[in-house]
Chain A
Amino acid sequence: GQNIDQPTEMTATEGAIVQINCTYQTSGFNGLFWYQQHAGEAPTFLSYNVLDGLEEKGRFSSFLSRSKGYSYLLLKELQMKDSASYLCAVRTSGGYNKLIFGAGTRLAVHP
């Protein structure tokens, strides 16, 4: 089966650092994506990992360990506008662009 787990909710303080974890068990693996989704809006692309290691992009970093079926998204210098849902998604093998999404982690950033 296909299973992607991430915490349901997290809270953090403005200016702090937060790490959102994601574990996955899928029948194939062809890359892991993180998307941000504000309430009532479309998901927007944050990061992509296909090889083990850390990918850094400004205040956002994403890490992947394929052997452990594990990824995390690290958000630094949190801002109020970072309050959103963060979706972990795995692209399974098969030569096409099907994404399996987790249920998302709702992050609330407080002053």
Chain B
Amino acid sequence: DAGVTQSPTHLIKTRGQQVTLRCSPISGHKSVSWYQQVLGQGPQFIFQYYEKEERGRGNFPDRFSARQFPNYSSELNVNALLLGDSALYLCASSPTHGVGVNEQFFGPGTRLTVL
């Protein structure tokens, strides 16, 4: 079975540009979450979507936005890129959004470098 897939794998942008990252969850999973992982740190929660609705948002500026499509895939958009946005962006899918183990399965990530 295919796991969580993300594209692109690597991306280089310059300050002020905009970027779109894509994620396809595991088949049957309806919840997608986005995390930012700066080198040497743990992942930081950005968004969670479930059934195409935003269910949670982390402490990130409005330059960060996301959406989920009817097939449960998701896009993360970042506008007006800053050097500090350079990080590994991880997408995680889970069957639902609530309680129980409901473990999140992470994709391989998109490595974004802002110059």
Binding site for B on A (CB under 8 A): 4, 30-31, 33, 35, 41-45, 48, 87, 89, 94-104
Among B13-21, B39-47, B61-69, B73-81, the stretch in contact with A: B39-47
Q: How far is the CA of A41 from the CA of B43 in the complex (A)?
A: 12
B71 within 8 A of A: no
Let me know if A43 and B43 touch, CB within 8 A.
yes
Contact indicator A97/B43 (Cβ below 8 Å)? no
Closest 5 CB pairs of A and B: A101-B42, A42-B106, A96-B55, A96-B56, A45-B103
The answer, among A45, A94, A100, A103, for a CB contact under 8 Å with B104, is A45
The CB with the most chain A CB atoms within 10 A, among B41, B42, B55, B108, is that of B42
CB-based contact A103/B56 at 8 Å: no
